[in-house]
């Protein structure tokens, strides 16, 4: 995918009209002369041409004070290429001459009193780099709209998400959160005096049942996920978890499985998905049988409910369908996979175009008031 095209600046031709001044008779009264001079001044002022705007050289800059300058959309990325490169190219191709410019974010040392420049930033990597996350919080407080909200993303975890999901009527597997197996850095046994020992494993097993899944409460990309069939396998997985905070979650024996994009809290794309296949085949090694319309409607409703409750403008939700009921299995994905090679052409084109439309619409809307509290940013 090619790099983004530079914003071209429209040339504005100078226009103007000649204005003449009528001769004033010498014998006219002083008041007549004054009135004539005022009339001439009004005509001259009305016909005076406006200066042509100066050409903008180099990279366009955005300012909340000058409406004629382009709105800049920033993309902060990691190792991925096809989605961010394709998105920046598509935005500039379709909106470059319509007052919007997209580019990759480049950061230096950040001053507290600086200006982030960007109307909107799409975040694809800050969960891996604390410097990026802090920068995005700063940009959000300064008035930049960040996708996704860095304050909530920092506070989010899968266990709490399950509680929120139940609150908005979405079916989720039964889940318990477990104390860390190993002490975290800079802690000792006294730090964990609030934890009962031993854990009441029998109560947890009775609530969850077997088989079940062990997974980190803040993980992603199937990191640290283990299917366990009995207490012995669970204890082995727990021993391997180290300092991760783990969840034990009910297994949903599914008859169908879906992964859904949610964009802008109002657009949904439902995709058949095979979590048991190799990663490159998960969107392709799927059944082609028709899907019940009522199930499609239920999943769309659940995706919108979850993204609305969590405040995510870009997310994926995975559903395991058991007895016709879609259970939300994984829905804390604020930087979801959108790689061309894994999701395929049709899904790639949908997510590129839908995210482009949302970012451009958001960039063109009135900028939010600057927020100087974390609560204000969370509620934004």
Across 129-264, the runs of DSSP E, i.e. the strands, are 145-147, 175-177, 212-216, 226-228, 246-250, 256-263
pLDDT number for residue 155: 85
Average per-residue pLDDT for the chain: 84
Average pLDDT over residues 139-164: 92
Q: Which of 50-59, 201-210, 360-369 is predicted least confidently?
A: 50-59
pLDDT, average across residues 89-116: 97
Topology adopted by domain 175-249: Dna Ligase; domain 1 (3.30.1490)
What does CATH list as the number for 57-149+344-380?
3.40.50.11950
Mean pLDDT, residues 148-164 taken together? 91
Residue 169 scores a pLDDT above 90:
yes
Residue for token pair 């009264």: 29
**Token code pair at residue 120:** 């909107």
Instruction: Return the CATH fold of 157-173+252-333.
Output: D-amino Acid Aminotransferase; Chain A, domain 1 (3.30.470)
Q: What pLDDT, in 10s, does the model give residues 4-37?
A: 433 333 333 333 433 443 333 334 344 444 444 4
Whole-number Å distance between alpha carbons of 126 and 76:
8
pLDDT per residue over 110-125, tens digit each?
999 999 999 999 999 9
pLDDT band at 223 (very low <50, low <70, confident <90, very high): confident
Residue 153 pLDDT: 87
What pLDDT score was predicted for residue 221? 67
Residue 333 vs residue 32, higher pLDDT: 333
- Where exactly are the structural domains of the chain? 57-149+344-380, 157-173+252-333, 175-249
Contact in structure between 74 and 62 (CB atoms under 8 Å): no
Residue 215 pLDDT > 50: yes
CA dihedral of residues 247, 253, 259, 262 (deg, nearest 10) = -60
């Amino acid at each position: 995918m090619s790099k983004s095209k530079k914003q071209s600046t429209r040339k504005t031709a100078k226009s103007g009209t000649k204005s003449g001044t009528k001769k004033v008779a010498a014998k006219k009264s002083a008041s007549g002369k004054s009135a004539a001079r005022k009339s001439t001044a009004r005509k001259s002022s009305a016909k005076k041409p406006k200066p042509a705007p100066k050409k903008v050289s180099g990279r366009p800059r955005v300012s909340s004070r000058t409406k004629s300058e382009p709105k800049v959309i920033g993309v902060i990325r990691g190792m991925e290429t096809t989605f961010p490169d394709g998105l920046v190219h598509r935005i500039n191709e379709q909106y470059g001459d319509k007052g919007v410019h997209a580019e990759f974010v480049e950061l230096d040392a950040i001053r507290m009193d600086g200006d982030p420049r960007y109307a909107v930033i799409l975040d694809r990597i800050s969960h891996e780099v604390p410097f990026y996350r802090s920068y995005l919080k700063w940009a959000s407080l300064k008035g930049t709209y960040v996708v996704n909200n860095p304050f909530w993303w920092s506070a989010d975890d899968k266990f709490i998400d399950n509680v929120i999901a139940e609150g908005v009527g979405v079916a989720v597997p039964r889940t318990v959160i477990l104390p860390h197996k190993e002490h975290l850095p800079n802690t000792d046994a006294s730090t964990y005096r609030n934890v009962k020992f031993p854990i009441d494993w029998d109560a947890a097993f009775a609530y969850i049942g077997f088989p079940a899944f062990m997974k980190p409460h803040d993980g992603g990309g199937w990191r640290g996920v283990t299917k366990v069939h009995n207490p012995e396998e669970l204890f082995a997985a727990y021993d391997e978890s180290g300092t991760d905070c783990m969840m034990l979650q009910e297994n949903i024996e599914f008859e169908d499985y879906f992964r859904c994009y949610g964009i802008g809290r109002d657009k949904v794309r439902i995709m058949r998905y095979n979590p048991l296949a190799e990663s490159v085949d998960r969107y392709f090694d799927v059944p082609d049988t028709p899907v019940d319309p009522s199930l499609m409607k239920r999943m769309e409703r659940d995706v919108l409910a979850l993204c609305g409750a969590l405040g995510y403008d870009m997310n994926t939700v995975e559903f395991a369908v058991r007895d016709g009921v879609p259970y939300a299995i994984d829905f804390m994905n604020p930087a979801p996979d959108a790689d061309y090679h894994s999701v395929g052409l049709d899904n790639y084109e949908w997510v590129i175009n839908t995210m482009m439309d949302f970012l451009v619409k958001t960039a063109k809307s009135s900028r939010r008031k600057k927020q100087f509290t974390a609560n204000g940013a969370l509620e934004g």
